[in-house]
Amino acid sequence: MEDALIIFSIILISSSLGFWQEKSAIYVIHKLISTVKTKSNVLRDGKIVEIISEEIVSGDIIILKSGDKVPADCKIFESKDLFVNEATLTGETYPVEKSDVVIQNKDIPLRKRINSLFMGTFIISGSAKALVIHIGANTEIGKISSRLNYKQETEFQKGIKQFGYFLVEITLLLVISIFLINVYLGRPVLESFLFPLALAIGLTPQLLPTIISIILSHGARRMANEKVIVKRPESIENLGSMDILCTDKTGTITTGELKLHSYSDVNGHNNEKILLYAYLNAMYETGYTNPIDKAIKEYKQLDIFSYRELDEIPYDFIRKRLSIVVYLSNNSL
C-alpha cells in the first residue's frame, strides 16, 4: 500500500507540474491578448456604431478606412482607391489593390480575389464598405490557426517514449528469464514470481517523469524572466537541440525599413538635382506612403518652401509610379 501511494503521488506531482506550467503560459497569452481590443465601425439599424471586433457577426456591414485592421472575411460592395496589406496571408509586402468587381470563378486563388477582404489584413489607403461573410475559425486565417493548434509530439517526447519502451523491454526480459530460471531450479512458483516482480519495480525509474517536469518547468521560468513565454515545456529541449534555424528574414530578424545610401544619375555620378526631385516627389505626395519616399525624407532635409504643388497623379500598382507637378518662379519642374 505504501509503495502504491508513493508511486501514485509521484505521477500526480509530475502531471500537475506540466499542467500548471501550460496553464500559466496560456493565462499569460490570454492576458496579453485581452489588453489589445480592436474596434470596428459597423452599420446597424442605419447607423454607424463602433463595436469590439469580436462582436461582429456574419451579415454585418463594416466601414473600413486607411489604417484599419480587417476583423473578418468580407466581400466588398463599395470601395474607393482601396489598397490592402495581405502580408499576413500571402507574405507579399506590397499592398494589393481591391475593388467591388464581380468574380464568377469560385475557385480563384486567394491572392487574386480582389473583391474580398480577409481577417488579419490591414487597409493601407482608401476606404470601403464590405459585407461580413465568415468570422472566427471559419476565416482563412482561422483555418490556418486551427491547423497550427494540432499538437505534434516533439523529438524530446519521442526520445523519452523510446527510452521508456527500452526499459520495459529490458525489465520484461529480466523478469521472464529470472522467473524461468527459478522454476527450473525447483523453487516455489510464488516466490519465483515475486522476486523478479520486485526487481522490475526497483529497475523502473519512478522519479524520471517528475525530474523531467521539474527541469523543464525551471527552464520555462528562466525563459519567462527573459520575456519569453513557453506554452509547451517540451519544446524547450527541441529549441536547445537545434543546429540550424531557417526563418524568413523580412520583418522578423530585420527592421524592415529602407535607408537611402546614395543618389546618382544615369552616368553613376552623385547629382543633387536627382535628390531634389525625389525629395519634392516624396514631400508633396498625398496618397499611399511608399517606403522609398520615407527613406528619402529621413535622409536629408531640403529647403523647398519656394516650390508649390500644381497637380498629382497618385501612385498605383498598375502604373507603378507617382507623378507630382510643382511650380517655381514661372518654371515648371
Q: Give the residue numbers marked as catalytic.
A: 248
* β-bridge pairing 331-332 and 61-65: unpaired
Q: Distance of CA 92 to CAs 66, 139, 250, Å?
A: 18, 19, 10
Q: Is residue 212 within 8 Å of 194, Cβ to Cβ?
A: no
Measured CA to CA, the distance from residue 151 to residue 168 in angstroms comes to 26
Buried/exposed code over 213-223 (b: 16+ C-beta within 10 A; e: otherwise): beebbebbeee
Cα four-point dihedral sign 35, 40, 41, 44: negative
Long-range pairs, 236-245, Cβ under 8 A, ≥24: 237/154, 237/155, 237/156, 238/154, 238/155, 238/156, 241/155, 241/156
Residues ≥6 apart with Cβ < 8 Å to 84: 70, 95, 96, 98, 117, 121, 122, 123, 124
* 3-state SS assignment for residue 118: coil
* 3-state SS assignment for residue 119: coil
* Category of 320 on φ-ψ map: left (φ > 0), alpha (ψ -120 to 50) or beta: left
Measured CA to CA, the distance from residue 233 to residue 209 in angstroms comes to 13
10 Å CB burial of residue 131 (0-12, 13-18, 19+) is: middle
